[in-house]
Structure 1
Amino acid sequence: MGLRRLQSFVCSVPILRCLSMLLLLHTASQKNALASTRLGRNETDHFALLSIKAQITHNSMLTTSSWNDSLHFCQWKGVLCGRRHQRVTGLNLQSYNLAGSISPAIGNLSFLKVVDLTNNSFQVKFLMTWVGYLGYKKFIGDLTKELDALSILEVLNIESNNLTGVIPASFRNLSSLELLLAKEKMWEGSIPASLGPVEFVNLKNLSILSLSSCSGFGTGDVNDLNFISTCSKLRGLYLYDNGFGGVLPNSIANFSTEFQHLLVGGNQIS
């Protein structure tokens, strides 16, 4: 090796070492950045969201392309989180042209309060486990009894859907529910007898109840309306076109002083 070539090699050694160190530092920083996105991440919420993503079969707008480990799940598109605990509190996926089914793992999002999946094409089997805002869609599936996981759900809007099954008695577990909107339903069966005053006492925050034009709810029985007797905070009650029978319970006089709207036409109430 000539002297000049030897000098060039010797001089390049520090540069090579420097480049190696820079490469190592860059790799370490990338690992730290990835680790920081995972810091404080709740794995139950994380895996529930990935399960939801896995069952989306049509995603033309690449809505869930950000749903990967490069970002904390609270930064994923359509995911809403609480500021304090970084837990999933809402899913806003409306009008993204999504199709597929909803993973039952969504029931593991224990802080979930609102779900908006309007204007998509989901087929839902475990609907009553998690649903929040689902207006103006057509869903196929049964209403199940798996409601225990959503005791903090505040708004349940399933207007203009086609669902089979009955309202499960475990509906009483939605103790934080304030608004129930379920008009224009095609449910089979009726409100179960077990869903009476004792169970509805848990719905102490219910302020709006709309079950209008829900085929099959009313039986014409004298006790049809007993289920509302303990909803003392109601401000609006909409039960028209159901075929309910009997009389309005005397306890309606104890409803909230803010009670303003009562629509019960199209029934057999005396």
Structure 2
Amino acid sequence: MEKMFDCIFAYAFLISITFQMLSSESKQPMSLATDRTSLLSLKQHITSDPSLLLSTNWTNSSSVCSWIGVTCSLRHQRVAALNLSNMALSGTIPPPLGHLSFLVSLDLTSNLFHGDLPQELSLLRRLKFISFRLNNFTGDFPPMFGQLPKLEYLNLRNNSFIGFIPKSLSNLANLQFLSLSSNSLSGEIPKEFGRFRSLQTLSVAFNHLSGAIPSAIFNISTLVSIALSHNYELSGSLPTDMCSNLPSLTVLRLSDNRLSGAIPTNVSQCSRLEVLGLSYNSFSGQIPQKSDT
């Protein structure tokens, strides 16, 4: 399910931004010079490039907009997307990456990047798409993500972030996809998440979260997938009217926690539900039959 969303969102952004590779640095030398400096700083912080993709391609003899993984927008003639996914790169993210002020999409999926993320990434105010999935970033969960007002997609799955999930993420009014699964996050799921109005996927499985699931989450009518399984310490009961406001819910994963109480009798009102995981909890009652209507 998550891979499908990855592909859909990535493809949608490639279409909507209308990326074109350009060689027009002469028109705005200072602007592209800034982007060049930022990217060369990143190159200097990469300690392993087994395929030699960046070391042989990111050079001063060619245009930034022709570099592997870099695409530029026609309108601003600036770097609009950076896609270094699946390149087996190892290294850290330097603060100057935050100077790519026209960046809309940042994809570092499936590499070996590590260390803390610099606060300067909060300067990327145009960002809509971020995927750092399958790396080894560490440190407290960065609250700066809540400062990116246009963000629609945030995937930090399979890293080593610790600490609490910041309440500031609820400021992301346009967020549609949020995956923080497979980290080492602790504390409670922020009740402020109930403010989301566009969220379709919420995945915080395989962490160390505790406390009750905020009932407001079950009022986010846009939700299609909720994955809270394998936290082991989530407790409390489910709202009796859990499915009243979830007309599009397809996936609900709650397994391997400490949830208790009766299984809501209105589960059948989640008419599109296809995957329901309740195992290894302390629920009582029976799962109601799905309505034929």
Scaled by the length of structure 2, the TM-score of the pair is 0.64
- CA distance, structure 2, for counterparts of residue 36 and residue 137 of structure 1: 34
Alpha-carbon distance change, 205 to 45 in structure 1, aligned in 2, over 3 angstroms: farther
Which structure has the bigger radius of gyration? 1
User: Displacement of 1:101 after TM fit?
Assistant: 0.8
Structure 2 counterpart of 1:238, one-letter code: A
Number of corresponding residues: 226
1:266 aligns with 2:235: no
**CA distances 1:114-148 after superposition (whole Å, capped 9, x unpaired):** 43324432213117957822333333333222225
Alpha-carbon distance change, 145 to 182 in structure 1, aligned in 2, over 3 angstroms: closer
For residues 1-270 of structure 1, what are the structure 2 equivalents within 5 Å? 36-40=24-28, 42-43=31-32, 44-64=34-54, 65-126=56-117, 129=121, 132-187=130-185, 189-191=186-188, 195-197=190-192, 200-201=194-195, 203-214=196-207, 216-219=208-211, 221=212, 224-226=213-215, 228-242=217-231, 243-249=233-239, 250=241, 253-255=244-246, 257-267=247-257, 268-270=259-261
Structure 2 counterpart of 1:106, one-letter code: L
| 8 Å contact from structure 1 (residues 45, 88) kept in 2 | yes
**CA distances 1:46-73 after superposition (whole Å, capped 9, x unpaired):** 4332322222223343322433444442
User: Displacement of 1:229 after TM fit?
Assistant: 4.6
- CA distance, structure 1, for counterparts of residue 58 and residue 162 of structure 2: 32
| 8 Å contact from structure 1 (residues 210, 239) kept in 2 | yes
* Correspondence for 1:30: none
| 8 Å contact from structure 1 (residues 225, 245) kept in 2 | no
Scaled by the length of structure 1, the TM-score of the pair is 0.69
Match of 2:42, SS state, is: helix
Alpha-carbon distance change, 135 to 144 in structure 1, aligned in 2, over 3 angstroms: closer
RMSD of the alignment, in Å? 3.1
User: Unaligned regions of 5+ residues in structure 2, if any?
Assistant: 1-22, 123-128, 262-293
Alpha-carbon distance change, 90 to 175 in structure 1, aligned in 2, over 3 angstroms: farther
User: Unaligned regions of 5+ residues in structure 1, if any?
Assistant: 1-34
Alpha-carbon distance change, 58 to 260 in structure 1, aligned in 2, over 3 angstroms: closer
Question: Which one has the bigger strand percentage?
Answer: 2
- CA distance, structure 2, for counterparts of residue 173 and residue 49 of structure 1: 29
